[in-house]
């Protein structure tokens, strides 16, 4: 019954997005000195959610449905348009560190939404 509540699905999707983005940012930082390495990133969650959340757009109601924005296509890393160093590397450690802080905030926000929603359910159930 409670598995189909959209608030839990959104919190889960936000946390999953943060995990994938953190992985991409960590790869960028690990390859900061690799000649020719191009920095990558994934679509921000607000863009993924905006594209998925319109009233006129189709929504996936089952995991087998196609066209859902949180499918692997939305989480696929793409090259960023950053300034390229003489070695051909486009990773900026400062930018990647700022992205990592933003990702931590997004993950904490998803946990807060989840905990708050559980608290509301517990209150509604009288526990």
Position with higher pLDDT, 82 vs 99: 99
- HSE-up (13 A, CA, CB side) for residue 46: 4
**Cα angle at 120 between 1 and 15, to 5 degrees?**
75
What is the value of pTM for the model shown? 0.74
Q: Is residue 56 over pLDDT 50?
A: no
- Sequential DSSP letters for 31-84: TTTSTT---EE---HHHHHHHH--TTS----STT-S--TTSTTTT--EE---PP
Predicted pLDDT at 69: 45
Q: What is the pLDDT of residues 58-96, one digit of tens each?
A: 556 555 555 444 555 567 777 777 778 888 888 889 999
Alpha-carbon distance of 122 to 127, in angstroms, equals: 5
Q: Is residue 10 over pLDDT 70?
A: yes
Helix (H/G/I), strand (E/B), else coil: 89: coil
Q: Is residue 23 over pLDDT 90?
A: yes
């Amino acid at each position: 019954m409670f598995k189909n509540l959209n608030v839990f699905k959104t919190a889960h999707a936000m946390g999953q997005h943060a995990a994938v983005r953190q992985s991409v940012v960590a790869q960028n930082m690990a390859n900061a000195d690799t000649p020719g390495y191009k920095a990558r990133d994934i679509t921000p969650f607000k863009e993924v959610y905006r594209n998925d959340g319109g009233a006129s757009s189709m929504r996936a109601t089952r995991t087998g449905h196609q066209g859902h924005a949180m499918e692997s296509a939305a989480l696929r890393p793409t090259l960023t348009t950053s300034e390229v160093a003489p070695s051909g590397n486009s990773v900026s450690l400062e930018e990647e560190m700022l992205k990592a802080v933003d990702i931590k905030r997004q993950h904490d926000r998803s946990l807060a939404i989840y905990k708050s929603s559980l608290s509301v359910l517990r209150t509604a159930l009288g526990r």
